[in-house]
Structure 1
């Protein structure tokens, strides 16, 4: 139940990031819902389609859709009546959602017989896929392709998760270890503005 609750929390937070971007681009309500939806469930949808896990998760559990719609309504009202919010609230909430999404992606892939390497890729896809779709629709360079430590945190969290399972750790322990790794690295990147080196020609 805790993982499910955090999954819903992550869905709402990712939806908010879609709403904020749509608002910045002055989209209409339909555009806002579309951008919020692809951000929140896009990665998991691609994962389920790649694994052959059909119908995809949000078709069998419509709570995800309700979470997105309610989040859109609340976010639209909040944007029109702005209140002072700490700068770190959304990045930290996003980091929590990201860590949980990665763990869920890894676990689902392993349940469908994927190898550890594929499971890590599915975890990264679950965590980052929606944001990639969002940024492409908004004509922006996806964050995972920039220098910010985002996908890297997902990869390392997935590796810890799968490695713990291969060492015969309990499933819950392995899942929490993966979540803690992704979350710690992402929070460290936010706190100290960590980034990867860029490939740029020397002058």
Structure 2
């Protein structure tokens, strides 16, 4: 059980909680299956699409039952401790989504590079890993996907991915590189939300 495998499970958990909290924010208390489904697709959506594009089979959550166990456990934590979030639901939603984006951008990038994908295609696959589950989540609950909002979303992912590639070229320790790159994405995204940073509009 490597540190990268454990990190992948942590990212899966974070995204599952994000999906479950989104479902709870839509008052889906009466339908536990719907909450599980939203948590599930949020957690595995991006990684599944990445693996399909790369032709990587079997897909991780199909091969390894630990992913499903983590998703179920994470959704249950979100549901049964939901009173923690009541009254301030938007903040934990943003926090868990941002943590998941930071972790999965770099994990997805690493997996693509390990599969022999060229560097820039690996960056795109890493970003896809991070954002696609959230796109599915927001679409299913009838929200505008976050990537189409005014706050910076893809830009922090791209920045962190480029930092990872640059530090890899410089020979930085992989664990430190991961922490630096994923941390940059998370901090950049949180600052973008806090100060409402956005790119110039195309008129």
Q: Into which bin does the TM-score normalised by the smaller protein fall?
A: 0.7 to 0.9
Matches within 5 A, 1:40-119: 40-79=43-82, 88-119=91-122
Q: Offset at 1:77?
A: 1.7
Q: CA deviation at 1:118?
A: 0.5
CA distance in 2, matches of 1:49, 1:107: 16
**RMSD value over aligned CA atoms?**
2.4
What are structure 1's unaligned runs of at least 5 residues?
none
Aligned-pair distance for 1:154? 0.6
Unaligned runs of 5+ in 2: none
Tell whether the 8 Å contact from 1:15 to 1:37 is kept in structure 2 after alignment: yes
Q: 74-83 or 148-157, which moves further after superposition?
A: 74-83
Residues 1-203 of structure 1 aligned to structure 2 (within 5 Å): 1-27=2-28, 28-79=31-82, 88-199=91-202
Separation in 1, partners of 2:88, 2:147: 26
- Alpha-carbon distance in 1 for matches of 2:13, 2:137: 15
CA contact (8 A) 1:120 1:159 kept: yes
Distance 1:82 1:159 in 2: 34
Check 1:82–1:178 CA distance in 2 against 1; reply closer, same or farther (3 A cut).
Answer: closer
After TM superposition, the score normalised by the length of structure 2 is 0.85
Whether the 8 Å contact between 2:20 and 2:35 is mirrored in structure 1 is: yes
Superposed displacement of residue 180, structure 1: 2.8
Q: Secondary structure at the match of 2:81?
A: helix
Contact 1:10 1:93 in 2 (8 A): no
Please tell me whether the aligned partners of residues 147 and 197 of structure 1 are also in contact (alpha carbons under 8 angstroms): no
CA distance in 1, matches of 2:92, 2:108: 24
Q: 2 CA distance for matches of 1:46 and 1:67?
A: 20
**Matches of 2:79 and 2:171, distance apart in 1:** 46
Structure 2: distance between partners of 1:81 and 1:107: 34
**Size of the alignment, in residue pairs?**
200
Q: Which moved more, 1:128-137 or 1:170-179?
A: 170-179
